[in-house]
Amino acid sequence: MNAPNKSGWKPEMTHAESGFLGGPVTTTGNRGLMLEEPLLFEIGRKDVTGVDLPDVDAKAPTRFGGLARNEAIGLVGLTEPETVRHYTRLSRQNYGIDLGFFPLGSCTMKHNPRLNEKMARLPGFADIHPLAPQSTVQGALEVVHQLGHWLCTLTGMPAVAMSPKAGAHGELCGILAIRAAHEARGDAREVVLVPESAHGTNPATAAFANYRVEDIPATPEGRVDVAALKARLGPDVAAVMITNPNTCGLFEKDFREIADAVHAIGGYVYCDGANFNAIVGKVRPGDLGVDAMHINLHKTFSTPHGGGGPGSGPVVLSEALAPYAPLPFIRQSADDDSFYLVEEENREESGPTFGRMTAFHGQMGMFTRALTYILSHGADGLKQVAEDAVLNANYILRSMDDILHAPFADSGPCMHEALFGDKDFGGGLTTLDVAKGLIDEGYHPMTVYFPLVVHGAMLVEPTETESKAGIDQFITAFRAVVERALAGDEALKQAPYYSPRRRLDETGAARKPKLAYEG
Amino acid sequence: MRYLPLTDNDRQAMLAKIGAKCVDDLFVDVPEVARLNGPIHGLPMHASEMAVERHMKKLAAKNMAAGDVPFFLGAGAYRHHVPASVDTIIQRGEFLTAYTPYQPEIAQGTLQMLFEFQTQVARLYGCAVANASLYDGSTACWEAVAMATRVTKRKRAVLSGALHPHYAQVVKTMAHFTGDEIADALPAITPDPELAGLIARIDEETACVVVQYPDILGRISDLTPVAEAAHAKGALLVVVNTEPVALGAIKSPGEMGADIVVGEGQSLGVGLQFGGPYLGLFAVRDPKHVRQMPGRLCGETTDAEGKRAFVLTLSTREQHIRREKATSNICTNSGLCALAFTVHMTLLGETGLRQLAAENHRLACLAADRLARVPGVEVLNNAFFNEFTLMLGGKPAREIIRDLADRGVLGGVSLGRLYPGVDALEHALLVAVTETTTEEDIERLAQELEASIKETV
């Protein structure tokens, strides 16, 4: 594509200046299969389109009430071949699970089965309207109902709210149900306790629901400090939000004791289910005293992350919270086994619901994928999922802890992710440098600087969909990069060298934000 | 199990390295009482691709797909033709199986696409800056109200009666918990939106006024007077759009003075999908409001070699940095739906979008005229884009819709379902027409509607 080269590269640059290690500098800026691609707005044209529609008849009468848009909108178009090439070329600058190992801790980047994609695209699921007469969408309602039933069974919980759109939205659902339950008793509580190792959405969610957030400290072994938590419990505490397995990769073994203590003061237990993949089919959160837990279908149940969504965050609820579940939800008729929605129209059939969180009924496209995945694995396969995920993580932990600081290695086996810190790195090298070094080795880095309780945290989550050979190769590469960090290898500070872009000026991006194409 | 690469030999070798006898040794921290022995009860065992496909297809076959019948539903979700290449692009593994672009060096594909998306949305809306998407239109609507309360430091939002009732419900649900005051109303059943009453409700305590355009009854009107009235009281105008194709034909909300424009982007690229996943669009007219925006923003910068590059920026607004002080708790958004929107919009371009809008409007006019000739039916709207309200002369729309479905026609959305208990709306039927509607479909609806009205008491 002969588009203007805006990359900053100039023909007169030396190889060193251009950052290209070896080989001739090219006139296009491309490097073989590593292809530069201009912005759509630099190659598209106002008068070009990739669809065949009738020309606009300027004389045709309109009923816009005098509001016709006469000024140019500022959009540009490409024909189909140009469009396909533009976005295909962009796609090649992305790393995805399909390309390689993606051990992003807390994100559960497992293989996304293609049968899921195929099923979600059946016209009977993809091409139905959310407000179609319910007699015409019985199969869709049944999908939601079946998936909900599986989620309740797997978590040992009596009820589920299916409509939340993603994990953070699910957290909000759980916290709002808790707030509504307290309000119904006339019990205005103000505080939600959150461990300091929590994902940022936990405090953000609690604050949104007008709660004051207080941190709970962790013990040196990486778990919630039960004594400190119990000491803080009182009539002002509405809930605790605990991730289990926690973000240090450990099972909170005192969870039941914590739950009992929270219930004793009239509070509720919110469990962040982001890490459910470690225990699916092995442990039912309902047996641990959980009142609400969201399930990221895009983590445990393999729906694709899509470069940042869409997700889906159904929330399982205890008997105490179930009456406050948001509208809509699905019921099966006792008369004829048909399925129907409980929504505003028949609100009298719901309990004292806290209201509606979204238009329509939730992420149907994700429900079909998740149900397909669950049916594929079955009860036996899901148990194996958790076991293999945990086995892989422990294997990585024990293959690295001789050279890399593993702060909780003595706290027992990890669950589905292994946590390391940056202790003993030489020459001012940091966790970020290790992450960027792994990019050069062809891996997506692990989660870095999270959880905040470990200095220079590196959280490695292999998932169950990696082969032993693949994990062994990663360990070899990870060890090599860590050894360079320990030795203070200066070259690591400039990594990555071989990615489509080198390190970015993020400070500059924030100082003078340029958030849309100008021109 | 086809998705699990480890063999039993692998597992044994790995357990040996770890120093564990069996895998249950790795679960020792789980209290005995909470451990399950064997596969969980009450669920079937694993199944082959063929068996699962058979099961799912049976469920899918129980639904009446929109493409198989004359179809006229809208009310915030519209059926448009999605070019084949859109789905091809979004199924590329590099897009489909990527994560949120936290490592920008190996995520330029997603990031550049988001930059293009933000630019397209901003221009469509007549705004300066759009974010990288939210969950859907209804949650974007709440985020706009929440942002307006931050900007104005006021706690009262005035909702137009003709705002999609689900959107209004979402706003009211959230506001109950944040302590904001929501002044809502029912839609006045008039040929034009009733703006004078809306303007009268704006006062010095008002953070924002929220208006849908085109509104829930399909009506359109100039919102400039609302913007002026809001600004005169120090309030913001939030405009909600649920049909982005309309903005290929009618003035943008930004042009009319909207401060925040939000909407549903599902019409382009995403499809109906029984209501989700959809695509929340969010934009601001004035760049000074950028730092109060919710959600992710992609910005342009350079890399260490001076090459242009893109990165998520201004993240000090977000939950992973600000925790309880974040502008929103949103994390995962609708990245892949944003890609579908952008690819579709790229295929359309300015020319195709205008053609698409014109074709929608042409067919909608045709349908309105034909349906107005059905005895007992009146078209409410003076102005509309591709959706309008039919008054059924005292006949219950809900029953008519069910009857039409039995006749093999998905005839529209009964407003009674959206506004239960409001007598005046029990006889109103919302009809949407897009480029996928044929003239034969319109004729069929007209004939079946006539028959249905005759037979329904």
| Inter-chain CB proximity B304 and A503 less than 8 Å | yes
- What is the Cα–Cα distance from B364 to B360, expressed in whole angstroms? 6
C-alpha distance from residue B410 to each of A127, A402, B431 (Å): 13, 66, 10
With an 8 Å Cβ cutoff, is A334 touching chain B? no
With an 8 Å Cβ cutoff, is A503 touching chain B? yes
| Inter-chain CB proximity A99 and B94 less than 8 Å | yes
Which residue among B62, B170, B352 places its CB closest to the CB of A142?
B62
Q: What percent of chain B has pLDDT over 90?
A: 91
CA angle A313, A317, A319 (to 5 degrees): 170
| Inter-chain CB proximity A392 and B333 less than 8 Å | no
Tokens 């099961």 locate to: B55
- What is the Cα–Cα distance from A337 to B181, expressed in whole angstroms? 41
Read off the pLDDT of each residue in A76-93 and give the average, rounded to a whole number: 98
Q: How far is B200 from chain A (nearest CA, A)?
A: 23
With an 8 Å Cβ cutoff, is A442 touching chain B? no
Q: Which of B18, B23, B63, B406 is best to mutate for the A interface (most A CBs within 10 A)? A: B63
Contacts of A221 in chain B (CB under 8 A): none
| Inter-chain CB proximity B297 and A515 less than 8 Å | yes
Tokens 């719901």 locate to: A350
Q: How far is A380 from chain B (nearest CA, A)?
A: 5
Q: How many CB pairs under 8 A join A and B?
A: 746
| Inter-chain CB proximity A395 and B324 less than 8 Å | no
- What is the Cα–Cα distance from A440 to A492, expressed in whole angstroms? 10
CA torsion B286-B287-B293-B295 (nearest 10°) is 120
Tens digit of each residue's pLDDT, chain B (457 residues): 999 999 999 999 999 999 999 999 999 999 988 889 889 988 999 999 999 999 999 999 999 999 999 999 999 999 999 999 999 999 999 999 999 999 999 999 999 999 999 999 999 999 999 999 999 999 999 999 999 999 999 999 999 999 999 999 999 999 999 999 999 999 999 999 999 999 999 999 999 999 999 999 999 999 999 999 999 999 999 999 999 999 999 999 999 999 999 999 999 999 999 999 999 999 999 999 999 999 999 999 999 999 999 999 998 877 777 777 777 888 889 999 999 999 999 999 999 999 999 999 999 999 999 999 999 999 999 999 999 999 999 899 999 999 999 999 999 999 999 998 888 899 999 999 999 999 999 999 999 999 999 998 7
Question: Could you tell me if A63 and B250 are in contact, meaning their C-beta atoms sit under 8 angstroms apart?
Answer: no
Instruction: Please tell me the CATH code under which domain B68-80+351-455 is placed.
Output: 3.90.1150.10
Give residue A1's pLDDT: 36
Read off the pLDDT of each residue in A365-376 and give the average, rounded to a whole number: 98
Contacts of A256 in chain B (CB under 8 A): 31, 33-34
| Inter-chain CB proximity B306 and A8 less than 8 Å | yes
- Taking the alpha carbons of A489, A494, A499, A505 in that order, is the dihedral positive or negative? positive
User: Is residue A12 scored above 70 in pLDDT?
Assistant: no
Q: Which of A87, A201, A219 is best to mutate for the B interface (most B CBs within 10 A)? A: A87
- What is the Cα–Cα distance from A358 to A360, expressed in whole angstroms? 6
Domains of chain B: which residue ranges? 68-80+351-455, 84-344
Which residue among A44, A63, A509 places its CB closest to the CB of B346?
A44
Q: How far is B444 from chain A (nearest CA, A)?
A: 18
Q: How far is B237 from chain A (nearest CA, A)?
A: 18
User: CB-based burial of residue B451 (10 Å sphere; 0-12 exposed, 13-18 middle, 19+ buried)?
Assistant: middle
Contacts of A241 in chain B (CB under 8 A): none
Which residue among B169, B192, B332 places its CB closest to the CB of A298?
B332
Question: Could you tell me if B82 and B273 are in contact, meaning their C-beta atoms sit under 8 angstroms apart?
Answer: no
Other C-beta atoms closer than 10 Å to the C-beta of B235 total 27
With an 8 Å Cβ cutoff, is A65 touching chain B? yes
DSSP state, A419? Answer: E
Instruction: Please confirm whether the linkage preceding A310 is cis (ω < 30° from 0).
Output: yes
A54: closest chain B residue by CA:
B355
- What is the Cα–Cα distance from A209 to A266, expressed in whole angstroms? 18
User: Is residue A89 scored above 90 in pLDDT?
Assistant: yes
Which residue among A54, A308, A384 places its CB closest to the CB of B359?
A54
Q: Which helix (H) or strand (E) holds A116?
A: helix A114-120
User: Is residue A5 scored above 60 in pLDDT?
Assistant: no
Which residue among B59, B92, B115 places its CB closest to the CB of A88?
B92
Rounded to 5 degrees, φ, ψ at B243 are -135, 90
Which residue among A65, A253, A435 places its CB closest to the CB of B382?
A65
User: Is residue A23 scored above 80 in pLDDT?
Assistant: no
A185 Cβ contact partners less than 8 Å away, ≥ 6 residues apart: none
Bridge pairing between strands A447-448 and A237-243: unpaired
Q: How far is A426 from chain B (nearest CA, A)?
A: 23
Question: Could you tell me if A359 and B413 are in contact, meaning their C-beta atoms sit under 8 angstroms apart?
Answer: no
Question: Could you tell me if B349 and A50 are in contact, meaning their C-beta atoms sit under 8 angstroms apart?
Answer: yes
Contacts of B135 in chain A (CB under 8 A): 165-166, 169, 309-310, 358
- What is the Cα–Cα distance from A37 to A67, expressed in whole angstroms? 38
Question: What pTM does this model have?
Answer: 0.96
Q: Which of B36, B322, B324, B437 is best to mutate for the A interface (most A CBs within 10 A)? A: B324
| Inter-chain CB proximity A517 and B435 less than 8 Å | no
A:408-427 residues touching chain B, CB 8 A cutoff: 412-413
C-alpha distance from residue A14 to each of A10, B302, B420 (Å): 9, 19, 72
Give residue A26's pLDDT: 85
Read off the pLDDT of each residue in A36-56 and give the average, rounded to a whole number: 97
Instruction: Please confirm whether the linkage preceding B396 is cis (ω < 30° from 0).
Output: no
Q: Which helix (H) or strand (E) holds A480?
A: helix A468-486
DSSP 3-state assignment of A418?
strand
Summarised one tens digit per residue, pLDDT across range B356-390 is 999 999 999 999 999 999 999 999 999 999 999 99
Query: What residues pair up with B182 in beta bridges, in sequence order?
Result: B157
**CATH of the domain spanning A116-370, picked from 3.60.60.10, 3.90.700.10, 3.40.50.2000, 3.40.640.10:** 3.40.640.10
Q: How far is A142 from chain B (nearest CA, A)?
A: 7
Summarised one tens digit per residue, pLDDT across range A166-224 is 999 999 999 999 999 999 999 989 999 999 888 888 999 999 889 999 999 999 999 99
Homologous superfamily of domain range A383-506: Aspartate Aminotransferase, domain 1 (3.90.1150.10)
**If you write DSSP's letter for every residue of B229-264 in order, what string do you get?**
HHHHTTPEEEEEES-GGGGGTB--TGGGT-SEEEEE
Tokens 């790195």 locate to: A425
User: CB-based burial of residue A267 (10 Å sphere; 0-12 exposed, 13-18 middle, 19+ buried)?
Assistant: buried
- What is the Cα–Cα distance from B42 to B21, expressed in whole angstroms? 29
Read off the pLDDT of each residue in A294-309 and give the average, rounded to a whole number: 96
Which residue among A84, A153, A357 places its CB closest to the CB of B43?
A153
Give residue A69's pLDDT: 98
Q: How far is B183 from chain A (nearest CA, A)?
A: 17
Extract the runs of DSSP E, i.e. beta strands, from A111-177. Answer: 159-161
Amino acid identity of A163? S
User: Is residue A14 scored above 60 in pLDDT?
Assistant: no
**If you write DSSP's letter for every residue of B13-27 in order, what string do you get?**
HHHHHHT-SSGGGGG
Contacts of A251 in chain B (CB under 8 A): 27, 29-30
| Inter-chain CB proximity A128 and B27 less than 8 Å | no
Give residue A22's pLDDT: 58
- What is the Cα–Cα distance from A392 to A110, expressed in whole angstroms? 12
Domains of chain A: which residue ranges? 1-55+78-93, 116-370, 383-506
| Inter-chain CB proximity B329 and A201 less than 8 Å | yes
Buried b (16+ CB within 10 A) or exposed e, A396-409: bbbbbeeebbbbbb
| Inter-chain CB proximity B94 and A140 less than 8 Å | no
Architecture of domain B84-344 in CATH? 3-Layer(aba) Sandwich (3.40)
Structure token digits, residue A96: 């995805």
With an 8 Å Cβ cutoff, is A147 touching chain B? no
Total residues found in chain A within this entry: 519
| Inter-chain CB proximity A358 and B139 less than 8 Å | yes
Three-state SS string over B160-191 comes to CCCCCHHHHHHHHHHHHHHCCEEECCCCCCCC
Q: How far is B376 from chain A (nearest CA, A)?
A: 23
Summarised one tens digit per residue, pLDDT across range A259-278 is 999 999 999 999 999 999 99
**ipTM exceeding 0.95?**
yes
Extract the runs of DSSP E, i.e. beta strands, from A312-357. Answer: 315-317, 329-332, 339-342
Give residue A4's pLDDT: 39
With an 8 Å Cβ cutoff, is A226 touching chain B? no
Q: Which of A340, A501, A503, A512 is best to mutate for the B interface (most B CBs within 10 A)? A: A501
Q: How far is B415 from chain A (nearest CA, A)?
A: 11
Structure token digits, residue A225: 């400090």
Q: Which of A18, A28, A40, A169 is best to mutate for the B interface (most B CBs within 10 A)? A: A40
Mean pLDDT score of chain A: 94
- What is the Cα–Cα distance from A259 to A508, expressed in whole angstroms? 46
B167: closest chain A residue by CA:
A359
Bridge pairing between strands A268-272 and A292-294: parallel
| Inter-chain CB proximity B123 and A75 less than 8 Å | yes
